[in-house]
Amino acid sequence: MASLGLQILGVGLAVLGWIGNILICMLPLWKVSAFIGNNIVVAQTIWEGLWMSCVVQSTGQMQCKVYDSLLALPPDLQAARAMIVISILFSLFGLLLSVVGGKCTTCDFYNPMVPDAQRRELGACLYVGWGAAGLLLIGGSLLCCQCPSGDDRYSGPKYSPPKSTTPGKEFV
């Protein structure tokens, strides 16, 4: 049987992660107004979340409004909602499986009762998979952080009217 202390620690950390998922799902702090350039309005702060948007006045008063329609929301917000709800459900399912299957977990590599022919070690594919997952996370993070500045945005092709080829037949 695996170490009971490590199982309890793992389940405890998983519960904390699950609670963190629920918190980030509920809180309206996904986008917070930034004071950049000439757009300095210090009388209020705007918070936007997955389910509502809030305005906090400089007096401390906060007014929140739940989004009216699911269909009127931008696609990125709908996708974030779906992914966080799926994450909460999957982590709850994983927690339940770990609690139920905790007594059934066995670590037989160092068990003297297991014959040498039946011992298994972690294979190279697992290490390659961990490395690939790390590279995917780093690459995705870099892509998410890469935002073009106002000057670098694509403005489209420049259009210039064609020149007249017939002399004396130019139109104004």
Concatenating the DSSP letter of every residue in 114-144 gives S-GGG-----HHHHHHHHHHHHHHHHHHHHH
What is the C-alpha separation between 36 and 48, in angstroms, rounded? 18
pLDDT digits (tens, 9 = 90+) for 62-98: 999 999 888 888 999 999 999 999 999 999 999 998 8
Q: Is residue 140 scored above 90 in pLDDT?
A: no
What is the C-alpha separation between 8 and 98, in angstroms, rounded? 10
User: Full-prediction pTM beyond 0.75?
Assistant: no
What is the C-alpha separation between 138 and 163, in angstroms, rounded? 51
The CA–CA distances, whole Å, from 72 to 52, 67, 80, 120 equal: 13, 9, 15, 54
What is the overall mean pLDDT for the chain? 81
Sign of CA dihedral 73, 79, 81, 82: positive
Q: Which domains does the chain have, with CATH numbers?
A: 4-127 (1.20.140.150)
pLDDT digits (tens, 9 = 90+) for 141-164: 888 887 666 566 566 677 777 666
